[in-house]
Amino acid sequence: MKKEQLYKQIDLILWTEWDPIGINNSAPNDEYRSYVPSVYDQLVGRTNAKGLSDLLFKFETTNIGMPGNREKCDMVAEKLLKLLD
């Protein structure tokens, strides 16, 4: 998959599946776009599911200031890894 396509797929998953703020039905769909490059770098760096989940959890708790949802981060990390199949 080309970089541009992968960016779009990551962005879509973050928006529809991750959505830690719970706004994907009421806000512009670019809310999480700034996280795409970091997620992309982890993916192409061949990280594992735990590495991706940890990154998403860090975004939720540190960057966004939410309490964090480890189970959801784990599920989204698995979906993201499937983009490389």
Query: pLDDT (tens digit, 9 = 90+) per residue, 45-67?
Result: 988 999 999 999 999 999 999 99
Round the CA-based radius of gyration of the chain to a whole number and report it: 12
**pLDDT over 90 (residue 85):** no
Q: Contact, 62 vs 79, CB < 8 A?
A: no
Mean pLDDT of the chain: 94
* 82, two tokens: 């499937």
Question: Please, which pLDDT band fits residue 25 given cuts at 50, 70 and 90?
Answer: confident
Q: Contact, 31 vs 21, CB < 8 A?
A: yes
31-47 pLDDT, tens digit each: 999 999 999 999 999 88
Total count of residues recorded for the chain: 85
pTM of the model: 0.93
CA distance 13 to 79: 8
